[in-house]
Structure 1
Amino acid sequence: MAVRTALTERLGLELPIVQAPMAGVATPALAAAVSNAGGLGSLGSATLDAEALAGQIAEAGSLTQRPFNVNFFCHERPQDDQARTAAFRARLAGYYAEENLAAVPDPGESYLPFDEARLAVVLEARPAVVSFHFGLPRAEWLATIREAGCLTLATATTVEEARALEAAGIEVIVAQGWEAGGHRGTFRTPFERAQVGTLALVPQVVDAVACPVVAAGGIGDGRGIAAVLTLGAAAAQLGTSFVAAAESAAPALYRAALAGAGEADTRVTRLFTGRPARALVARYVAEMTPHETEVPDYPLPGPMVRPLTEAGLKRGVPDFHPLWSGQAARLARAEPAAAIVARLGRETEAALHRR
């Protein structure tokens, strides 16, 4: 494929394709396979402590000599609203009884914000790309990462957020459309005003900032990649397509749910982590959506829901699993990551030549 962009040139990529980080699903093997195939693989590191983070970066580095991305969440530590926690605990109690589980555990922080310990790992490992979700870390940390030679990316869901990221020194903006699976990256704009579709968001962000823009959200094949390249994006980021990859950590029930999903089978929900995220609608999401106002702040609900997720895994049912997915789930194919990247490249070239 002959399409060259500012991002492919900067990183030496063969294809303008970025695998979304997807904490808990992306593995070092997946990231390395995507990078080896000519795209940019990514590690989702928001659930890892410093030791585990160093291990994953080292493992990915042992599997590829090409650039890969290491992604972090940036969020304020939450305050536990005891009344809301009690209400949420009461809602979960019936499910716990049904699954023969002990009492609902206390809330906790299953997703970790970027901190000094993770900064130290980054500065030691110096991955080619470091990216952030939910805003940015401290300005001095960001400057140190850039000085170490790492290319910095961050997510925006509005033009306002994109401008703020560029002003703070971020070198590449990931414009996340409303169609995207997983956590919404909104950090500055009120959530209700940050529900802009990918094809509307990308050209407006491209016009608003001077740095390269990566398009994310609802892109599931080469036609989508060609579309966002035409709109001015320097690359496309795909997540749901790589959940189906052979190298992902997605369990069988997740893969089966994805294989049977259509474009209308997802919903943005706070029920798993306390923060809006798009997932396939299984039993828990369907039944608990009317009670979302009782969910504790991000990321406190995670440990409260996890025993239900694990119980469902043991029974082989997706009822309580966070089935993160974008609206293009129907386009995902169960293939090795290298085959997915190669197919996407062929489809993109064909779509661009049809114009």
Structure 2
Amino acid sequence: MKPLNNKPKQHHNELLSASKLILAGLLLLLGLSLPAQHVTSNSCTENCHKRTVKKDILHGPTATDCTICHEPNGKAHPVEDVSAFTFFAEGAELCYSCHTEIAEQFSLKYVHKPAKNGECSECHEVHSSNDPKLVFTQAPDLCFFCHSDFDDNRATATSVHTASYTGEACLQCHSPHASTQRRLLVGNNRELCLSCHNKIIKKEDGALLANIEKHLSESTHEHRALGKTCTGCHSPHISELELLLKEAFTLGNYVEGIEDNFALCFQCHDTDLLNVETTTIGTEFRQGDRNLHYVHVNKVKGRNCTNCHDVHAANNSKLIAETVKFGRWDMPLNYIENDNGGTCATGCHKEQHYARE
């Protein structure tokens, strides 16, 4: 027998395949579609939804399987004004069905408002992004979409906390989702500050900031205002005053002795220190009832607090410093305390003593 000739059958199959392609093309031209369950992730992103994957970093489901989030409901797709897909869950619950570690954080005491309200898309792209974590843009600009005042006021601020605007910016101190600390801080306020201020820092203008952690660890007496926080005196972001101070405090060795120049100190300390010439309760620095703070400060050319006191810590009670800066000179104070007062022999005068009784 002669072998069967397969060419007519092969030709028929080729014609059939071509007809199917033509029919599919006509269906698309006419706006007709196949059921959504036959649509694959590749067909989504390669044919119609190219924009969803145009950025550098893809959301995992976008790159592999759109139906992780979008569930076909049996309707044809694409058809104008017809939704062929529904979400497995509403709002943030859809995100948390995978990102369980974020959802677990919501048991913490403080939760970022967008995260608490399920508004993940306030910060994150859902398909692709040019930035890690699928954020719209990097911090601090991302944060400034809502917290614009920190950006608006920065241009006119006298001092700006560099850490708030460089590197990871806001995220160096704040959690974007939730925290056990107020203000969504990533750690205890004081410890957070000292995690950077544990070395000498050179500012942009060349000025040096002391290693505060080292200074505190080497001192026997610490300013009680520090407590668990540094923000009692310093603003963590920007300030209209030098050194990020929250209230006025005039720098330098001499200053006019008026309350306005010591507003920072008088948040806690009694103004009688400055204004009352005689007292037995306003201060312990007195000769009998003669207020020696008043003597030193209440004048046109008054002595600044920092001529005697270290504002952070010292090895003497009352934070009396061992030396203070006077121009290029580290002026010694030679302070010696006793039960009834003390003595000092500074570069300003020979040894002097005072006694409260």
After TM superposition, the score normalised by the length of structure 2 is: 0.20
More helix by share: 1
After TM superposition, the score normalised by the length of structure 1 is: 0.20
Greater Cα radius of gyration, structure 1 or 2: 2
Instruction: For CA contacts below 8 A with separation 6 or more, give which structure has more relative contact order.
Output: 1
